Structure 1
Amino acid sequence: MYTSGSTGLPKGVMMTHGNILATVSAVMTIVPSIGTKDIYLAYLPLAHIFEFAAENVMVAAGTTIGYGSPLTLTDTSNKIKKGTKGDSSVLRPTLMTAVPAILDRVRDGVWKKIDAKGGLSKKLFNAAYGRRLAAINGSWFGAWGLEKVLWEFLVFRKIRAVLGGHVRFLLSGGAPLSGDTQRFISICLGAPIAQVYGLTETCAGGSFSEHDDISVGRVGAPLPCSYVKLIDWPEGGYLVKDLPMPRGEIVIGGPNITLGYYKMEEKTKEVYKVDERGMHWFYTGDIGRFHPDGCLEIIDRKKDIVKLQHGEYVSLGKIESVLVASPYVDSIMLHADPYHSFCVALVVAAQRALEDWASKQGIIYSDFSDLCQKAETVKEVHGSLFKAAKQARLDKFEIPAKIKLIPEPWTPESGLVTAALKIKREAIKKAYADDLAKLYA
């Protein structure tokens, strides 16, 4: 199976049936009471290890599987004709996997509907969400019991209908999910979102959140099939002796570790190791830290760190996960040139949000591409990025100094994002080389 190619050319990973079964059997011990009464909505490509492992779990448990696509997932998805239903409304699944990009879109869609209704509906939602959040934080227990039933009937029942109304468990993987999105979706759907961490090289196995873990931003404890350890990465300043939590590069071992890369012996030797006890380990290149309860949190990626001209380190992926919270952002790629002291960004604009803003401002434009080129539009989007960055307490050098708005969406067909909608950094840099050069001019 081939890797996504988000950091370069895809690599062919050689895996055995035993590798796959190790992950599948481990996951089945964690997902609560999965069985023949469940319905699973599959919409990610089967050539993606996350979806491949998930569907094998469903087959093993005897669960019904229905097939959809990311562009027809909900009633308001891009490829759904007006007046027709999306995949989730028709199938009404109880189980789903999701990549962060999809969950971010669901969150943005809910907020847009709430803002559009305004008035009493918005006040009711804010009150209900605040009560649920207080209950989770332990400061207001009245949001459970009868009050929970009331809010469910008045507010959350309608939001649950976005994904069919019957989802009881969501699994997020493929990339880090922001804590804000995880909390928002979990509260609105009334279902836990578990985060899973794994790679093609580990057959999607690594760590897995418990279904009753109400914390956010973490990827759980090691799966029963996996050993997880951290090793020092001095160049990036991450050490296992760091306080209050040990930090370092994540290394995964166990029966789910694959054989290596097809016809890439040198690369295999670089990241696959066997210790003196015969244990196979894979060096992930991801940076994590262990919480006191044994749960892992992904905090960085070695390939995403760039050193700026004056010595500051910028973590591209971490900043992108913050800035994508802007309502005007569909996709974003931060770019940092080591010969300059500031970052820039390519922003795929969220068409509906920007057009709604333009309508309220009375801005006249010929098409969406024309709107994205207007100085006032760029200023508005840049301001929203600055606001999101400040809320996340990013340093000044981490906030893009200049941006370029892109009117066309990045799709797997264009070769600019993976099947799981992760950006292909090198492909985007090549495709927009002229634009990036102008931003630094």
Structure 2
Amino acid sequence: MRLKEDLNPMLLMLFHLMVWIYTAITFLPSYPLSWISRSHRNSYGSEEERAKRPKARSVLGRPEGPYRAVSTTKRLLSSLHPGVDTLDKMFEYAAMRFPHRDCLGMREVVTEEDERQSNGKVFKKVVLGEYRWLSYREALTAATQLGSGLASLGQRPKTNIAIFCETRAEWLIAAQACFAYNFPLVTLYSTLGGPAIAHGLNEAQVTHIITSRELLETRLKAILPEVPRLQHIIVVDKKPTTWPGYPRGIRIYNMATVQKLGARPENATFERKQPLSSDIAVIMYTSGSTGIAKGVMISHSNIIASITGMAERIPNLSEEDTYIGYLPLAHVLELCAELVCISHGCRIGYSSPQTLADQSSKIKKGSRGDTSVLQPTLMAAVPEIMDRIYKNVMTKVEEMNSFQRTLFILAYNYKLEQLSKGYSTPLCDRFVFRKVRSLLGGRTRVLLSGGAPLSAATQRFMNVCLCCPVGQGYGLTETCGAGTICEYWDYSTGRVGGPLVCCEIKLKDWVEGGYRSTDEPHPRGEILIGGPNVTMGYYNLEAKKQEDFFVDENGQRWFYTGDIGEIHEDGCLKIIDRKKDLVKLQAGEYVSLGKVEAVLKNCPLVDNICVYANSDETYVIGFVVPNQKQLLALAGQHGIRGSWEELCNIKAMEELVLKVITEAALTAQLERFEVPRKIRLSPDPWTPETGLVTDAFKLKRKELKTHYKDDIERMYGGK
């Protein structure tokens, strides 16, 4: 994606002259080195050269697969280190290798205050201190003592225990305690509402739960009468130590108290029954984008295989790396990413979306966000967060004066051209993109996107401006997050890479949708993932388990993903559709809702969008969360006045936004029948707290349909 050039000819000539001089000066000393690098078997080369290199191949030579990574055509890999086949062994192995290195870090809150906004709303702002660290040995001791303490409170091996907590160091310590003592860990998102929490706790028959003070008081307390089996609540915070006003029969402890209990000599000798690799490590409740959340049973061997595959795709992973953890640990992407880091001795500093950067919503103006302090080298993100960074930076580019904007656009397009040839651009990185790169601390060397498709525009922008590769990955909770990840040096967009070394991929014809493995030029079909990372099935859902999982004649487990993909000549996978997102209109046209949404989210006016289609109708409609700055500017251009809420409810504004969206859709070559004909503007953003998106910011279509029921009837003429 090149940025549009509307530039002063003299300035353009001057820039190209500077680039020519710089290239000429650096060419002679760099040419021998680049020639040696290119002759080396690991050289990256141009995009054209990289695209020709096989990343995966069909083992049987058939278009439907199965496809494996080129390095694993003989067998799939399922472990990082010999004999390390469970998560407790993995943590002990890391603590033995890196006993004194920093492991888990948290920032302390220095001050906290309320800040009143111009619209009367009050936001809580914080000033945070430096990171405080636990070493690997200290983290292992904390986990071992907690596990022993839980056992002394009656928690037994192979009996479920729940964690309902925000992402923080105590979450991972609690998880490692459960892994060590073979307590299957039931994970619940911290944004879940009361009914969903009660459902998970009751279905898993939980008697012990680990939570935070805030979640206990705001979410858990109200539903305690609905979970009669629950007896023990362990709060990770240090204060308070007494808990009045709770039902009889419920005992509440601070985590530190339970650890002290576990450290007592009489409890420290408690016989620990270590798990087998086939034992359940986690029952992970999915984010529930298509209905009631299902508990996915994940064994120790599933997670070990998954992190083996992920680690192989991250170059030079070592104890020198720093990872920033802020996504929900109840999500498989974040849990496996952190366990990959633990297995290699990296340090993990914790954050949250509200404190991530200097400009984040909870950071007091003038103080530093977490990325500025931590300066991570590794980071995982969901497309929603990366889209926000992209739009925020582009808004600032538009506000630059003519000279600054021209320089930025020239540098952007120059670097894009150099990346396609396989060259670096140190001058542009240092003088033009350094400020953008500093948004994430300035040292990020690998950024992995997962959870949903990342738009080509955003991916290109991140590759250029953050000066590090931004790779897409593809996996599901049911495959323990593993599936594919782009190669470090592959800057192509729209693709999710080849299969990891722990799994393989097949395509299954979906005749109804018109996708077959015999399609030209690329085989297409429903994606099936098989390997040791494929999980054990759904908890207490035997029929559903049989429907989505199967075991082949070789004893290997497979999962039907429901996603439609195509395999390119080099073995890379591209996600092109989803069975559940496909709607047939009255006239017989098929509309892929996800495809349309991915295109329209590139429009600067759109912060988020949900496309809806009724099979009894002839056209598509949409619900749009507009970008506030862009919408206010559009209203000003047309002389429309009003508050933010009023503007979103004015029919004239809907029509203006629809016109812009339609132009963006047709420019992106969507078909006319795919373009929304009517829209509803939403003044309120969709967050996990609203219940309209999951914790990974995937749309909850069922909830959105209910929320906008009246608008759907209006846009479809009362039908």
TM-score w.r.t. the length of structure 2 is 0.59
1:253 aligns with 2:536: no
1:80 aligns with 2:357: no
Alignment match, 2:615: 338
Q: Point out the more displaced range, 22-31 or 238-247.
A: 22-31
Number of aligned residues: 434
Alignment match, 2:447: 170
1:233 aligns with 2:233: no
Q: Map residues 127-166 of structure 1 onto 2, 5 A cutoff.
A: 127-138=410-421, 144=423, 148-166=425-443
Cα distance in 2 between the residues matched to 1:316 and 1:200: 22
Alignment match, 2:350: 67
Cα distance in 2 between the residues matched to 1:428 and 1:402: 16
Alignment match, 2:302: 19
Cα distance in 2 between the residues matched to 1:359 and 1:81: 30
Which whole-Å deviations, capped at 9, do the CAs of 1:147-197 have from their partners, x for residues lacking one?
x23222321111111111111110010011111211111111110011111
Cα distance in 2 between the residues matched to 1:93 and 1:404: 40
1:347 aligns with 2:624: yes
Q: 1:350 to 1:290 in 2, by over 3 A?
A: same
Alignment match, 2:678: 402
Counterpart of 2:702, as a letter, is E
Segments of 4+ moved more than 3 angstroms: 78-81, 356-363
Alignment match, 1:377: 653
Cα distance in 1 between the residues matched to 2:355 and 2:375: 14
Cα distance in 2 between the residues matched to 1:439 and 1:86: 43
Counterpart of 1:319, as a letter, is V
Q: 1:62 to 1:227 in 2, by over 3 A?
A: same
How far does residue 385 in structure 1 lie from its aligned partner after superposition? 1.2
Residue in structure 1 matching 2:469, options 167, 187, 192: 192
Alignment match, 2:714: 438
TM-score w.r.t. the length of structure 1 is 0.95
Secondary structure of the equivalent of 2:391?
Answer: helix
Cα distance in 1 between the residues matched to 2:430 and 2:488: 24
Alignment match, 2:13: none
Alignment match, 1:309: 586
Cα distance in 2 between the residues matched to 1:350 and 1:84: 26
Q: Point out the more displaced range, 232-241 or 7-16.
A: 7-16
Q: 1:295 to 1:162 in 2, by over 3 A?
A: same
Counterpart of 1:427, as a letter, is E
1:51 aligns with 2:334: yes
Cα distance in 1 between the residues matched to 2:375 and 2:656: 38
Residue in structure 2 matching 1:389, options 651, 665, 670: 665
Q: Point out the more displaced range, 184-193 or 152-161.
A: 152-161
Alignment match, 2:226: none
How far does residue 302 in structure 1 lie from its aligned partner after superposition? 0.2
Counterpart of 1:376, as a letter, is A
Cα distance in 2 between the residues matched to 1:89 and 1:390: 40
Asked if structure 1 preserves the Cα contact closer than 8 Å seen for 2:354 and 2:361, the reply is yes
Cα distance in 2 between the residues matched to 1:315 and 1:369: 30
Cα distance in 1 between the residues matched to 2:412 and 2:519: 36
Q: Which has the larger radius of gyration?
A: 2
Cα distance in 2 between the residues matched to 1:228 and 1:70: 33
Asked if structure 1 preserves the Cα contact closer than 8 Å seen for 2:563 and 2:579, the reply is yes
Cα distance in 2 between the residues matched to 1:411 and 1:338: 28
Secondary structure of the equivalent of 2:527?
Answer: strand
How far does residue 360 in structure 1 lie from its aligned partner after superposition? 5.2
Cα distance in 1 between the residues matched to 2:609 and 2:455: 15
Asked if structure 1 preserves the Cα contact closer than 8 Å seen for 2:320 and 2:346, the reply is yes
Alignment match, 1:266: 543
1:223 aligns with 2:500: yes
**Identity level (%):** 51
Alignment match, 2:60: none
Counterpart of 1:57, as a letter, is V
1:276 aligns with 2:553: yes
Secondary structure of the equivalent of 2:520?
Answer: coil
Cα distance in 2 between the residues matched to 1:264 and 1:171: 32
Counterpart of 1:372, as a letter, is C
Secondary structure of the equivalent of 1:28?
Answer: helix
How far does residue 362 in structure 1 lie from its aligned partner after superposition? 4.7
Which whole-Å deviations, capped at 9, do the CAs of 1:383-403 have from their partners, x for residues lacking one?
221122122100001000000
Secondary structure of the equivalent of 2:288?
Answer: coil
Cα distance in 2 between the residues matched to 1:230 and 1:219: 15
Alignment match, 2:395: 112
Q: 1:273 to 1:216 in 2, by over 3 A?
A: same
Residue in structure 2 matching 1:89, options 349, 372, 396: 372
Cα distance in 2 between the residues matched to 1:130 and 1:157: 16
Q: Point out the more displaced range, 400-409 or 114-123.
A: 114-123
Cα distance in 2 between the residues matched to 1:390 and 1:187: 26
Asked if structure 1 preserves the Cα contact closer than 8 Å seen for 2:534 and 2:559, the reply is yes
Alignment match, 2:215: none
Q: 1:353 to 1:84 in 2, by over 3 A?
A: farther
Alignment match, 2:287: 4
Q: Point out the more displaced range, 103-112 or 349-358.
A: 349-358
Alignment match, 1:327: 604
Alignment match, 1:358: 635
The alignment's C-alpha RMSD in Å is: 1.4
Q: Point out the more displaced range, 113-122 or 279-288.
A: 113-122
Counterpart of 1:181, as a letter, is T
Cα distance in 2 between the residues matched to 1:180 and 1:237: 28
Alignment match, 1:31: 314
Cα distance in 1 between the residues matched to 2:638 and 2:441: 36
Counterpart of 2:656, as a letter, is E
Alignment match, 2:127: none
Alignment match, 2:458: 181
Asked if structure 1 preserves the Cα contact closer than 8 Å seen for 2:411 and 2:432, the reply is yes
Asked if structure 1 preserves the Cα contact closer than 8 Å seen for 2:455 and 2:602, the reply is no
Give 5+ residue unaligned stretches, structure 1.
none
Residue in structure 2 matching 1:318, options 583, 586, 595: 595
Counterpart of 1:249, as a letter, is E
1:414 aligns with 2:690: yes
How far does residue 116 in structure 1 lie from its aligned partner after superposition? 1.1
Q: 1:74 to 1:383 in 2, by over 3 A?
A: farther
Cα distance in 1 between the residues matched to 2:568 and 2:520: 11
